[in-house]
């Protein structure tokens, strides 16, 4: 059920969580070819995009297009809709069900989560780690994941969540207090499945005019303790929402998306990823 906002101000703030420099698209599975650095094992042939709060599979269209422009390796791209206002537990459960329904090989998928989508991925992997039995859907889903990436994900929460009205899960889950507890229960050290570490890389973003935040998520919150992150803070705002001004200056959306997906498919190291 959709939440009803009390004012246009609240609506603008809520929408601000939904996208990071994205364009619209559809909900699908697609096979494409792309040129990937040989560092990626040949068994890694699937890419899953996980959307954030107040968002949908439609927000990944340009990422799919950029991936399609590569050559020399076949990729199967997955994206789906989960509850756009639900809790991490609810959203992660829906995402795990989707992954398990695809019939993928183990250790064959790169997963990319924007904003809250990154928290959903962390929950799946951590829950899989804590109960590694085949009757645990999170374990079955986590086994498919080779590596995961988070894009402007509020790993330590966001202050704005503390002043918004309660909803059916997402807003309270995004608060700094809740994320403090979440991180204790689901640390990066819980990212191993069957003795294999599922590596992570966090992409960090900030407004060009304010290097401390992307307009919604502070830089320090975009980092998960113990996990690798981009050494350079990339230029970009959390959203392109028209309702509120996030950054004084805009970065061309398409260029940011091209850079992000290219670095992911090339398996770039944190030191190799630089701002546009």
- Averaged over successive runs of 10 residues, the pLDDT of the chain (276 residues) comes to 34 42 43 49 92 87 80 82 95 98 97 95 98 98 97 89 73 93 98 97 80 81 94 71 42 66 87 73
Q: What is the reported pLDDT for 3?
A: 30
59 secondary structure, DSSP code: G
- Confirm whether 248 is domain-assigned: yes
Provide the domain count of the chain: 1
- 179: number of Cβ within 10 Å: 21
- For 26-46, write each residue's pLDDT tens digit: 345 554 444 444 578 889 999
CB 53 within 8 A of CB 18: yes
Residue 229 domain-assigned? Answer: yes
> What pLDDT was estimated at residue 213?
76
Please state, in angstroms and rounded to a whole number, the distance separating the CA atoms of residues 176 and 66.
Answer: 34
Q: How far is it, in rounded angstroms, from Cα 198 to Cα 96? A: 16
**Measured between alpha carbons, how far is residue 28 from residues 58, 78, 271 in Å?**
9, 6, 33
Position 159 in a domain: yes
- Structural contact between residues 166 and 190, judged by C-beta atoms closer than 8 angstroms: no
Helix, strand, or coil here: 120? helix
In a domain, 212, yes or no: yes
**What is the CA 267 to chain-centroid distance, rounded?**
16
Q: How high is the pLDDT of residue 146?
A: 97
| Position 128 in a domain | yes
pTM over 0.85: no
Domain contains 2? no
In whole angstroms, what is the distance from residue 262 CA to residue 140 CA?
Answer: 28
- Residue 55: give its domain's CATH number: 3.40.50.1820
Report CA torsion sign: 22, 26, 27, 29: negative
> Tens digit of pLDDT for each residue in 9-26?
433 444 444 443 443 333
The angle subtended at Cα 192 by Cα 179 and Cα 118, nearest 5°, is: 40
Q: Is residue 156 part of a domain?
A: yes
**Cα atoms in the Cβ-side hemisphere of radius 13 Å centred on 141:** 25
Domain that holds residue 73: 8-272
Q: Give the span between the Cα atoms of 74 and 215, in whole angstroms.
A: 36
- As a whole number of angstroms, the distance between CA 41 and CA 264 comes to 14
- Tens digit of pLDDT for each residue in 225-254? 999 999 887 776 676 443 233 455 555 455
């Amino acid at each position: 059920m959709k939440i009803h906002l009390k004012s246009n101000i609240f609506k603008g703030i809520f929408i601000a969580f939904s996208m990071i420099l994205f364009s619209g698209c559809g909900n699908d599975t697609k096979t494409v070819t792309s040129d990937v650095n040989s560092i990626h094992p040949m068994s890694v042939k699937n890419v899953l995009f996980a959307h954030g709060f107040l968002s949908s599979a439609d927000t990944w269209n340009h990422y799919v297009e950029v991936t399609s422009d590569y050559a020399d390796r076949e990729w199967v791209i997955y994206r789906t809709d989960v509850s756009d206002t639900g809790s991490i537990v609810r959203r992660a459960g829906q995402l795990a069900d989707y992954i398990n329904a695809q019939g993928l090989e183990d250790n064959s998928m790169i997963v990319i989560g924007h904003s809250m989508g990154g928290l959903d991925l962390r929950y799946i992997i951590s829950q899989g780690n804590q109960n590694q039995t085949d009757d645990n859907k999170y374990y079955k889903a986590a086994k498919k994941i080779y590596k995961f990436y988070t894009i402007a994900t509020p790993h330590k929460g966001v202050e704005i969540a503390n002043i918004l009205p309660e909803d059916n899960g997402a807003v309270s889950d995004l608060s700094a207090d809740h994320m403090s507890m979440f991180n204790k229960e689901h640390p990066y050290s819980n990212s191993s499945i069957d003795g294999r570490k599922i590596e992570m890389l966090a992409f960090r973003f900030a407004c060009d005019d304010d290097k401390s935040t992307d307009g919604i998520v502070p830089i320090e919150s975009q980092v998960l303790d113990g996990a690798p992150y981009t050494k350079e803070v990339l230029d970009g705002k959390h959203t392109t929402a028209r309702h509120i001004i996030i950054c004084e200056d805009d970065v061309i959306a398409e260029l940011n998306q091209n850079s992000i997906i290219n670095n992911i498919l090339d398996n770039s190291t944190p030191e190799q990823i630089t701002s546009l």
